[in-house]
Structure 1
Amino acid sequence: MRRVLLSAYACSPYKGSEYCVGWSWAVGLSKKGFEVWCMTNTEDYKDCEKEKQELKLDNLHFIPVKLPVVADKYWLNNSRKVIYAHYYLWKKKASNVAVALHEKYNFDIAHHVSYGSFQQGSSLYKLNNCKIIFGPVGGGQMSLPIFKPYFGSSWGTEIMRKYMSEFLMKYNTSLSETLKRADVVLTVNEETETLLKTSKYYKAGHDFSVSDSALPKQFEKNQFKAKESTEEFRILWVGRLIPRRGLELSLKALSFLPEYVKYKLIIVGDGDQAGKIPSWINKYELDASKIQHMGWIPYSQVHEEYENADIMLFCPLRDTAGLQATEAMGFGLPIITMNISGMRTIVTEDCGIKITPTTTDGTAEDIAGAIEHMYSNPDFRKKAAEHAYKRAMANTWANKIDLVTDQFY
């Protein structure tokens, strides 16, 4: 049985996004028969152990990398920027843990999957005499200047992110050593692939494009159900309420809709911008009764919202891939999204409508036009729903892990 060391900082059986990525790799690799040791943080360790026992995966071992109590208690908070400081310290500690584990178990493969940040590098570069796989990773994508108004005071952070990316590319030892050692680098979008190729440590022929967005096992039971048109057109928005997710842009787009579009916008998620929703509703003169902010809800309840919606509106201003869109497609939801980053390939032309950003107002108007088209053309919407479902159901974690392991393990 081949032995794999997995670096999955975020890993949980009960959460989405990065957490789902880490968990899906850990479980998927063990189900394929690999002996897997998964380094993760302490936040969801008990949940991982509990679910592992339920699945009877004796060949899966979770290794919680602990930091000083103050760091694990106050910095391990994914809704605050201190999480990046925690991740930095975790990587340093995990690197030494990885060396000790390798000395004990002599791994065949060391694979970094979470966080999926290219510029941050990996904690696995110190390992010798094993194959190292870095990714799928993103991070090459940058926000377009036309979106500056939607970032407000945090636009300065976006500018700093650009400079920080350039700094890390030049001076981050973790990244440079990772690129030197990695046998394979998996990138999730064109922007990150381009960024990789600017590095002096780039090795031609050792990089491949692989999305980090896929459906977990529980979606395999989903059956496609054609949705009949109802009086209320339900638009679903899912994500953290932070500037780069672009909720304000989506609300502005609603202001351009003609009155005959009888919509209801369901917002699922929480974050720093939650308190701004009422002021945005006033700013764009929207009818507050047509907008429902549910806040954070359990993952199982999010699935109910997928089932009840007619379309998903997913227009982030900057994003790596788009797990929410893939999940929504698994419930047969047509997608309105941006033709940027990972969404270029996740959503094809027959699965919804992709908006190519133009100007600040023009992009919002184009989103409104897409919503109106979906509303007024139920036949188009039903066909897009069926295509979205079929595409998502072919994009399962089991299939993705088969693809990666068959080619690179």
Structure 2
Amino acid sequence: MRVLLSAYACAPGRGSEPGLGWGWATALVEAGHETHVLTRRRWRTEIESALAGVPRAGLHFHYHDLPSWLDVCFRALGGPGKRLRYCLWQVAARGRVRSLGSAVRFDVAQHVTFAQFWSPCALTEAARLGVPFIWGPVGGGETEPAAFWPGLGMRAALWEAARWLLHRASPWLPWARATAAACRLAVAATPETAECLVRLGARRVIVRSQVALETDRLEVLASLAGTVPQAAPASVIFLGDLLPHKGARLALEAVAGLSCAWRLDIIGDGPDRAWLERRAVRLGIAGKVVFHGRLPQDAAWRLMAAGRVLLLPALHDSGGFAVAEAMAAGVPPVCLALGGPGAMAAEGGIAVPAPGPAEAVRGLTQALRSLIEEPARWQALSLLARGNARDRFGWPAAIGAVHGATGLGIGQPDGLAENGP
């Protein structure tokens, strides 16, 4: 089959959105499908270097971008400028989709990055040409409970309020409704996003995590898995950017309530770091909290695999690569029952209800205590996490779940829902 893949972000050897774009492209080719990828020129050098080292027959890249002078304007706007550039790129890329569709007879078109359901999508043009169109996995339907906003700081709270308003308005966004009407299959990264896609009018929706790991990565992580850790203090791992919505503030509060011997290893960096360091001092736990900053991937994996538990109480997140990686290494994750990390933790860890900050912190502390003080429970969840990581988060499983649900002959459907999540 010939697949047209829209991957605004796509680069080898990277995480997050660029890694997802590259992962979908290479996984489809390895599954035997000729794949044409439409992406930005920004990634061209990295892509061509990777293909020069490891040629991949059947994998073709097509580059499209906005005029370079617009980048000055986008950079001046900061974060909103990045989102505006993405939306304008999607609109401008429709002409390129038409030209590609005229030159190549595609069997299916799929949008994979960025993962936000409320933006325009260039592949609606492929649907107009009669090509079955898969929208996703997409996220962005996750919202942070308003009870948590006061603890984020003024700027972050205002941003969360703006996100909430966007979600409320999304059913009336004409470009989002047009994408929902055009797609043969809408793939939601989280149950929250599935509800948004249904409200937009998508006729067929499945829920499938956007997270997928390469076979060699799964094997490396599995090789790091050990038996029940006996060393004291027990190492609790936080792995992620230090941003308000990632939940490191809640992680400090949760470990402060533990009476057993523990140490919190924070892997990552970001604008919240100085505040978190001061907060650890005020809580009287500064001597037990280690800020490692950003580490090379191998070093981060080794430290994570030696931990007792991954603590990642993100307040809204569509994905959760750290959760999948921890599960593959046999480290049970503890997350809030929100968004992608919460859904993943339910398959090999503990997802804590989060009606408000106080309840969330108490639940996180109890979950940590159980995994530190009850070796049998830790062992059971560790084995469950490793099995689910292997079965659920490999690329063959992702392709089978998404493309199998279209009925076009790739893989098997997983979690299909007609007219609803």
> Unpaired runs of 5+ in structure 2?
409-421
Match of 1:169 in 2: 171
Q: Match for 1:370: what amino acid?
A: A
Deviations along 1:337-358, whole A, 9 cap, x unmatched? Answer: 1122234432236x22221113
> Unpaired runs of 5+ in structure 1?
none
Query: Aligned to 1:373, which of 370, 373, 381?
Result: 370
Give the distance between the partners of 2:165 and 2:150, measured in 1 at CA: 20
Moved more, 327-336 or 299-308: 299-308
Match of 1:202 in 2: 202
- Give the ranges of 4+ consecutive aligned residues of structure 1 lying more than 6 Å apart after TM superposition: none
Match of 1:242 in 2: 243
Match of 2:389 in 1: 392
Moved more, 142-151 or 335-344: 335-344
Give the distance between the partners of 2:59 and 2:75, measured in 1 at CA: 24
Match of 2:272 in 1: 273
Give the distance between the partners of 1:267 and 1:394, measured in 2 at CA: 28
Q: Contact conserved, 1:66 with 1:72, CA < 8 A, in 2? A: no
Paired residues for 1:48-197 under 5 Å: 48-72=47-71, 75=74, 80-127=79-126, 128-153=129-154, 154-173=156-175, 175-197=176-198
Residues 294 and 9 of structure 1: is their aligned pair in 2 closer, same or farther, counting only changes over 3 Å? farther
Q: Match for 2:171: what amino acid?
A: M
Q: Match for 1:21: what amino acid?
A: L
- TM-superposed CA distance for 1:72, in Å, is 4.8
- TM-superposed CA distance for 1:333, in Å, is 0.5
Match of 1:323 in 2: 321
Q: Contact conserved, 2:229 with 2:308, CA < 8 A, in 1? A: no
Paired residues for 1:25-44 under 5 Å: 25-44=24-43
Q: Contact conserved, 1:120 with 1:172, CA < 8 A, in 2? A: no
Deviations along 1:15-36, whole A, 9 cap, x unmatched? Answer: 2222222111111011112111
Q: Contact conserved, 1:67 with 1:90, CA < 8 A, in 2? A: yes
Q: Contact conserved, 2:118 with 2:173, CA < 8 A, in 1? A: no
Q: Contact conserved, 1:111 with 1:134, CA < 8 A, in 2? A: yes
Q: Contact conserved, 2:330 with 2:382, CA < 8 A, in 1? A: yes
% identical equivalent positions: 24
Paired residues for 1:202-221 under 5 Å: 202-203=202-203, 206-221=204-219
Q: Does 1:358 align with 2:355?
A: yes
Give the distance between the partners of 1:363 and 1:141, measured in 2 at CA: 17
Paired residues for 1:279-358 under 5 Å: 279-283=278-282, 285-348=283-346, 351-358=348-355
Q: Contact conserved, 2:336 with 2:360, CA < 8 A, in 1? A: no
Q: Contact conserved, 1:38 with 1:61, CA < 8 A, in 2? A: yes
CA RMSD, Structure 1 to Structure 2 (Å): 2.3
Give the distance between the partners of 1:390 and 1:358, measured in 2 at CA: 30
Give the distance between the partners of 2:321 and 2:335, measured in 1 at CA: 13
TM-score of the superposed pair, with normalisation by structure 2: 0.88
Deviations along 1:311-358, whole A, 9 cap, x unmatched? Answer: 100110111132210111011101111122234432236x22221113
- TM-superposed CA distance for 1:73, in Å, is 7.2
Q: Match for 1:162: what amino acid?
A: W
Q: Contact conserved, 2:183 with 2:202, CA < 8 A, in 1? A: no
Give the distance between the partners of 2:190 and 2:239, measured in 1 at CA: 21
Give the distance between the partners of 2:29 and 2:93, measured in 1 at CA: 21
Residues 217 and 94 of structure 1: is their aligned pair in 2 closer, same or farther, counting only changes over 3 Å? farther
Q: Match for 1:348: what amino acid?
A: A
- TM-superposed CA distance for 1:304, in Å, is 2.3
Match of 2:412 in 1: none
Moved more, 161-170 or 241-250: 161-170
Residues 151 and 31 of structure 1: is their aligned pair in 2 closer, same or farther, counting only changes over 3 Å? same
Residues 314 and 88 of structure 1: is their aligned pair in 2 closer, same or farther, counting only changes over 3 Å? same
